Amino acid sequence: MNQKLKSTAVWAPLVIAVTFITGMIAGNYFSHRQAGGSVERKISDIITLIQSDYVDAVDTDSLLEKTIPDLLSKLDPHTVYIPASELTSTNEVLEGSFGGIGVVFNMMTDTATVVEVVSGGPAEKVGMLAGDRILTVNDTLVAGVKYNMDKLRSRLKGPKGTVVRLGVKRASAPNMLTFDVTRGDIPVTSIDAAYLITPTTGYVRINKFGRNTYMEFLNSMIDLRSKGAESYILDLRDNTGGFLEPAVLMANEFLSAGRPIVSTRGRIPSMDQQMGSDGTGAFQDAALAVIINEGSASASEIFAGAIQDNDRGVLIGRRSFGKGLVQNQIELPDSSAIRLTVARYYTPSGRCIQKAYTPGSTQAYEMEVYDRFLHGEDFNADSAKIDKTHEFTTLGGRTVYGGGGIMPDVYVGRDTTGVTSYYVNAFNAGMLHNFAFNFADNNRTMLEQAKTTGELLAMLPPDDTLLTSFVGYAQQKAGIAPRWYYINISRQLIVNQLKSLIASDILGQAALFEVNNMTDPSVARAIDELKTGPQLTPAAETADDGTTYINDDNSATD
């Protein structure tokens, strides 16, 4: 095991050096460009005229700040301007850490309640606990005043090494407690959950492709293998991407030597790159299922495309977003930045999965995923709009298509079982989250004795009791009248969501996925596929549960 990690440490920097397309480029990117062109002179002349002759005094810096985003909007939908004031917060999610105190809190009432204390973080070191209510920050009252979550979060965050004084109410203490917390680096993790979903199947939920994603992923995979995992489900649903190199390194873990992973092509020759596997992957023989949906984009699609085009695993779910453009983030002298599209990426079969867009017009592009929903694609594979003029072939000879996302090998439609008007009203009013939080908070001392999700679920009241309590709560708090005909239809959906939310409040976010996955159709199909092997044949077939297998020309039958 140590030898594997040692090997990774040797070759990973080499791969990163070649594949690091989406990170920062040199700060002198613009300094080598000559400013003597006619367009540059025209812009300079206009600014000079405004400064010297315009009727009113104008802050030209502010004028340019407003003009740059409009200028870039005339390009593709993913080239954007990031003001200096937003750059740090924009980067910190992908960079993997930020300066904070290390708590997760919510504001179901007018007081922030800590629902999770980050292990090893500053708050844990001074003794803060889940269930603590934050009353003051630096002696300023933040409870009972309808404090905005973002505003409170900004007060808790700050430069590393600075101290923030918190006044906390704890159920077991009669008086307010005071904690002086020294802000430090708080890890922003990419792995929402990693656990054995069956005795021999590991499940890993990845929420983004950040700077630390690959090592978090590898550690999770090695841990699962040590616990008995022989096959794996990687859940990339709603993962909008991030950096390219973690996706390449992850794909490398599953591929034998010499397999293509991704290539990039741009107008500048230096942007033309080809990336392939080096044969050092630790999971080349492990069975693999990857779950995607319309929220899976960019780096998620690079990984999924590499797995599909190499016929290495089975893709399950719904068509991915369709982002095949590569951005470089270029920091400007005033600490603002531009994320500039510099290349397109291509999957191993040669397809670019970027969906259509009109430069300078983003409305249709932004609405495309919603249009899929309206046209029924979320519920039926036959409704998918596939551009069959972009036809490619996988390593094993299967036909796949470019030009609009990645179509999975096994289509599983959106699950609407149990969705009724009663459920929608209760959900939109926040009643499920509020009830779950109050239940967890009122029973925290007992529930925190549970060490696993199974132990916690065994402590909860019977389903009928939980449902009846919720219905009464929703009526009392939000005036939602009991409509038992619809409540009974939504019974299992409501109960399952309440259990997952309670588990999340007590055991952390990973427990939410453990409970949700017990009734998730895509996860169930992935488990079945790993047991039996993917049933991909030249003719489409439909499973007993209505799941549609996509045939070689991506048409389907019910």
Nearest to 529 by CA among 399, 412, 410, 415: 410
pTM: 0.79
Instruction: Identify the band that residue 520 occupies on the pLDDT scale cut at 50, 70 and 90.
Output: very high
Percent of the chain predicted with pLDDT > 90: 53
Strands 287-292 and 314-317, by their bridges, are parallel
Task: Kindly list the domain boundaries of the chain, sorted by start residue.
Answer: 97-187, 191-324+344-411, 421-519
Instruction: Identify the band that residue 93 occupies on the pLDDT scale cut at 50, 70 and 90.
Output: low
Q: Is 227 a catalytic residue?
A: no
pLDDT for 389 beyond 80: yes
DSSP calls for 340-386? EEEEEEE-TTS---PPP-BTTB-HHHHHHHHHHHHTTTTT-GGG---
Written as six digits, the tokens of 159 are 């430069």
Say how far apart CA 422 and CA 420 lie, in whole Å. Answer: 5
Q: Is 323 a catalytic residue?
A: yes
- For the domain spanning 191-324+344-411, the CATH number is 3.90.226.10
What is the helix (H) or strand (E) element at residue 498, kind and residue range?
A: helix 491-507
Q: Is 464 a catalytic residue?
A: no
Residues 472-508: pLDDT tens digits? 999 999 999 999 999 999 999 999 999 999 998 899 8
Which residue in the list 263, 277, 320, 323 is annotated as catalytic?
323
Nearest to 88 by CA among 104, 99, 75: 99
Which residue in the list 309, 378, 505, 520 is annotated as catalytic?
309
Residues 96-120: pLDDT tens digits? 666 788 887 877 667 888 877 876 6
Residues 436-479: pLDDT tens digits? 988 998 999 999 999 999 999 999 999 999 999 999 999 999 99
Which one of 2.30.42.10, 3.30.70.141, 1.10.10.10, 1.10.357.10 gives the CATH number of domain 97-187?
Answer: 2.30.42.10
Helix (H, G, I), strand (E, B) or coil at 184: strand
Which residue in the list 298, 300, 490, 522 is annotated as catalytic?
298
User: Based on the number of CB atoms within 10 Å of its own CB, is 31 exposed (0-12), middle (13-18) or buried (19 or more)?
Assistant: exposed
Instruction: Identify the band that residue 515 occupies on the pLDDT scale cut at 50, 70 and 90.
Output: very high
Work out the angle at residue 554's Cα, subtended by the Cα atoms of residues 553 and 558, and round it to the nearest 5 degrees: 115
User: Based on the number of CB atoms within 10 Å of its own CB, is 526 exposed (0-12), middle (13-18) or buried (19 or more)?
Assistant: buried
What is the helix (H) or strand (E) element at residue 169, kind and residue range?
A: strand 163-169
